[in-house]
Amino acid sequence: MKFDKLRLVGFKSFVEPTDFAIQPGLTGVVGPNGCGKSNLVEALRWVMGENAYKQMRASSMDDVIFSGSGARPARNHAEVMLVLDNSARTAPAAFNDCDVLEITRRIEREQGSTYKLNGREVRARDVQLLFADASSGARSPALVRQGQIGEIISAKPQARRRILEEAAGIGGLHSRRHEAELR
Ligand code: ATP
Ligand code: MG
């Protein structure tokens, strides 16, 4: 699976619909302080199912919705769409019947989030598992936050093991086992 396109609407500072085409090879995002570079990476993490607002530098999940500026009123919803190129058919089996996977997460103020996969409503868990199985989820080692390298070095063995398991793509098995044990 390859990231192909990212679209932000009303997400943090990206109030107007903003499309990013992610070309093959290395992509760099450059710009002055406060222009939205970190917001962009957070949008990626958010659409992949991040459900801890603290990971989004927010004090509630509604804080990801554009909160208004001098010239523009606040919005009541935010949406991030991620398009994955699955033409190599490398998505986890449950999702592997399409060349393109389009994942959308939308949040309405005070209503929480909804997710869609290729236009069909799905649970947050479905999206989280899709990425956990592909070892690229919101908490995976594929996204390295500022200060995270230091955290890994000083982590306790159990915590470090979890990071390695996520990298190996078996992180999703733990939550499935936990669910199975609850049944
Ligand atoms: P740096 O180079 O300092 O790391 P950056 O390019 O990573 O900067 P971000 O942290 O992505 O910048 O963006 C910060 C900007 O986003 C701030 O101006 C902040 O006010 C704005 N912002 C964050 N959340 C919202 C929101 N909900 N509504 C409107 N603007 C927001
Ligand atoms: Mg930043």
What ipTM describes this predicted complex?
0.98
> 80 and 43 in contact (C-beta within 8 Å)?
yes
Residue keyed to tokens 């070095």: 153
End-to-end CA distance of the chain: 32
Tally Cβ neighbours within 10 Å of residue 23. Answer: 8
Predicted confidence (pLDDT) per residue in 100-138, tens digit: 999 999 999 999 999 999 999 999 999 998 888 776 666
- Which residue's CA is the nearest one to ligand 1's atom 4? 33
Ligand closest to the CA atom of residue 13: 1
Tell me what pLDDT residue 141 has. 65
Q: Which of 11, 39, 69 to mutate to test the pocket of ligand 1 (most atoms within 8 A of CB)?
A: 39
Predicted confidence (pLDDT) per residue in 17-61, tens digit: 999 999 999 999 999 999 999 999 999 999 999 999 988 999 999
Q: How far is the CA of 32 from the centre of ligand 2 (A)?
A: 9
Domain chopping of the chain, boundaries: 2-134
Annotated binding-site members for ATP: 32-39
Mean pLDDT of 52-76: 95
Q: Which residues pair with 102 in a beta bridge?
A: 83
Q: How far is the CA of 92 from the centre of ligand 2 (A)?
A: 32
Instruction: Tell me, using a 6 A CB cutoff, whether residue 39 lines ligand 1.
Output: yes
- The Cα 61–Cα 79 span in angstroms is 13
- Which residue's CA is the nearest one to ligand 1's atom 24? 12
> 121 and 115 in contact (C-beta within 8 Å)?
yes
Instruction: Tell me, using a 6 A CB cutoff, whether residue 13 lines ligand 1.
Output: yes
Q: How far is the CA of 36 from the centre of ligand 2 (A)?
A: 7
How would CATH label the architecture of 2-134?
Answer: 3-Layer(aba) Sandwich (3.40)
- The Cα 133–Cα 33 span in angstroms is 34
Predicted confidence (pLDDT) per residue in 128-181, tens digit: 988 887 766 667 767 777 777 888 889 999 988 887 887 777 777 877 888 888
Burial of 13 from C-beta contacts in 10 A (0-12 / 13-18 / 19+):
middle
- The Cα 31–Cα 43 span in angstroms is 17
Instruction: Tell me, using a 6 A CB cutoff, whether residue 38 lines ligand 1.
Output: yes
